[in-house]
Structure 1
Amino acid sequence: MQHRVRAVLVTPNDTMLLIKRIRPGIAPYWVIVGGKVEPTDASPEDALSREVREEVAGEARIVGLLHSIETDDERQDFYLATIEKWDFENRSGPEFSQEGRGEYLLEEIPLTTEALDALNLLPQEIATVLCEAVARGDLATAR
């Protein structure tokens, strides 16, 4: 089973960092920073820290596990994390240099249900979980 980790990155501006994906022939969609746990990663949290460094050139403070989605062949763990600084221009993930992968745009999204509802955030299950967490004020308390 493939194991992936994702970081719901809350900024000091009360926003969340998301990656907008633009691919030929597909409507734009947004994803949460993260990726596959590699055999060389000491733990899922170490994999998450590595992914944040690769994808946004930043350091995250992991608050805790927010939600998990499991299918027959994949498990995705979504962690709530905070981030103070990032430099998307200095990202280093291998996917950014692969031909045909489309565009990756980093966006700061306000921590509001209206802002989240306006996005095609995938997977849909995490979009619902995040809207509910924002409505309860759970994400704002991460800082």
Structure 2
Amino acid sequence: MQHRVRAVLLTPNNTVLLIKRIRPGIDPYWVVVGGKIEPTDASPEDALRREVHEEVGGEAEIVSLLRTIETDEERQDFYLATIDEWNFEDRTGPEFSQEGRGEYLLEEVPLTTDALDALNLLPREIAGVLRGAVERGELGAAN
């Protein structure tokens, strides 16, 4: 089973950093930052910090485990984290140089239900978790 870690990155601007994926033949969709745990990672949290650095050129402060989504093929641990500074030009992830992977665009999305509802955020379960947290006032403004 593949084990992945993901970071719901909250910014000082009351936004969440998401990656918009544009791939040939597929409607655009958004994902939270993250990837698979490598054998060289000391822990899932270390893997998450590495992935954030590779994908957005920043350093995350992990707050807590938000949700785990598990299927027969993979386990994804979604962490709530904060990030103060990032530079998408400093990203180093190997996926960015692979042919045929499409585009990876970093977007700051307001923490509102309207903004989240306007996205095709995958997986759908995490989209619902984030929307619910915003509605309850746990992450940002409700609308």
- TM-score above 0.5: yes
Residue 10 of structure 1 and its aligned partner are, at CA, apart by 0.2
| Percent of aligned pairs sharing the same letter | 80
2:52 maps to a residue whose letter is V
Secondary structure of the structure 1 residue equivalent to 2:32: strand
Q: Which residues of structure 1 form unaligned runs of 5+?
A: none
Correspondence for 2:37: 37
1:133 aligns with 2:133: yes
Correspondence for 2:110: 110
Runs of 4+ aligned residues of structure 1 deviating over 4 Å after TM superposition are none
Alignment length (residue pairs) = 140
Give per-residue Cα distances to partners, 1:90-136, cap 9 Å, x unaligned: 10000000000000000000000110000000000100010001111
1:50 aligns with 2:37: no
> Structure 1-normalised TM-score?
0.97
Correspondence for 1:12: 12
Correspondence for 2:101: 101
1:23 aligns with 2:23: yes
Q: Which residues of structure 2 form unaligned runs of 5+?
A: none
Query: How large is the Cα RMSD of the aligned pairs?
Result: 0.6
Correspondence for 1:90: 90
1:30 maps to a residue whose letter is W
> Structure 2-normalised TM-score?
0.97
**What aligned pairs does 1:71-90 form with structure 2 within 5 A after superposition?**
71-90=71-90
